[in-house]
Structure 1
């Protein structure tokens, strides 16, 4: 194979790829924040002891975790405009889809984190006169977040990788930027190779940061 990267310049990458990278990062951060909030609520519902809430949360989590992400992306992109009577665009659809989909995974992480906190902490909160909500907010959840922080960040790295699936609905993400460059210069192999390298560098660097954070948390414990 004759690989030729000479056509790639900083100006070219800034024009085509930088916008896609920004969208991928913003999508990751928004989906992470929204997914953790919604996932925490789902985890609390599953641990509430109220049968109706447990069933609703379990159905949501198990359903989302049993369907390929690309199918969920297509469903939301096609069904939401049909339901509300107007298009919402590929980018906005991706924000909604990823937030709701990732919430199912963050919910299981948070549930495991909450269950990792000793029961004595909960009983101590009750003994101080705190309600269930106050005990969770002030006593249990801060410890659960600390315990699960490396796993939450690891799931976020996976989320960043999954953002490349928005190609299915035409959203302009990092991979789409490289694809456009490859089509314009008829060099798809080179641009896809470079895209793989960029994804690897970003995800590997983040993985190293998570590993360092995990060691610090272990020392604190």
Structure 2
């Protein structure tokens, strides 16, 4: 709120709701992870690749676009997708801010019907199933794109 006040020149802090607060938090938190994954992916490319591209007369942007990033993307894709699964699992934290989500809905139904254990187990099975199936897909993708030596 105070940064928004400073940016807009307002006399009072701007009002920030639960959704905006959670969105800003997730974007900032996950951006750090995703940018680190991308940095590591780019650094995983041997120094000889950009040097060869430069020797061919490619500019820096052409080198990144046609030589480095395609190889780096191949290296970082499984990790990016795994981090996306972590982000999916972290979205259940918005329940703390009273934002309606799957876990919050399960909790409301559990309290209404008096079946806490069943509903929380159901929510856990759904989260586990989605995460497990997605991770199997990522593992399959990783074996498909890996180099055969």
Using structure 2 for the length normalisation, give the TM-score: 0.84
1:213 maps to which of 106, 129, 141: 141
Assess if the C-alpha contact under 8 Å between 2:2 and 2:14 holds in 1. Answer: no
Alpha-carbon deviation of 1:179? 1.1
Distance in 2 (CA, whole Å) between partners of 1:130 and 1:219 is 26
Alpha-carbon deviation of 1:149? 0.7
Q: Which runs of 5+ in 1 are unaligned?
A: 1-77
Match of 1:105 in 2: 33
What CA RMSD, in Å, does the superposition of the two structures yield over aligned residues? 2.2
Assess if the C-alpha contact under 8 Å between 1:81 and 1:88 holds in 2. Answer: no
Alpha-carbon deviation of 1:99? 1.5
Q: Report 1 or 2 for greater relative contact order, CA contacts < 8 Å, sequence distance ≥ 6.
A: 1
Alpha-carbon deviation of 1:80? 6.0
Structure 2 matches for 1:1-221, cutoff 5 A?
85-219=13-147
User: Aligned residues, how many?
Assistant: 144
Alpha-carbon deviation of 1:118? 1.6
Deviations 1:115-140 (A, max 9, x none): 11121111122223333333223321
Distance in 1 (CA, whole Å) between partners of 2:118 and 2:39 is 43
C-alpha distance 185-207 of structure 1, shift in aligned 2 (>3 A): same
Higher-Rg structure is 2
Q: Which runs of 5+ in 2 are unaligned?
A: none
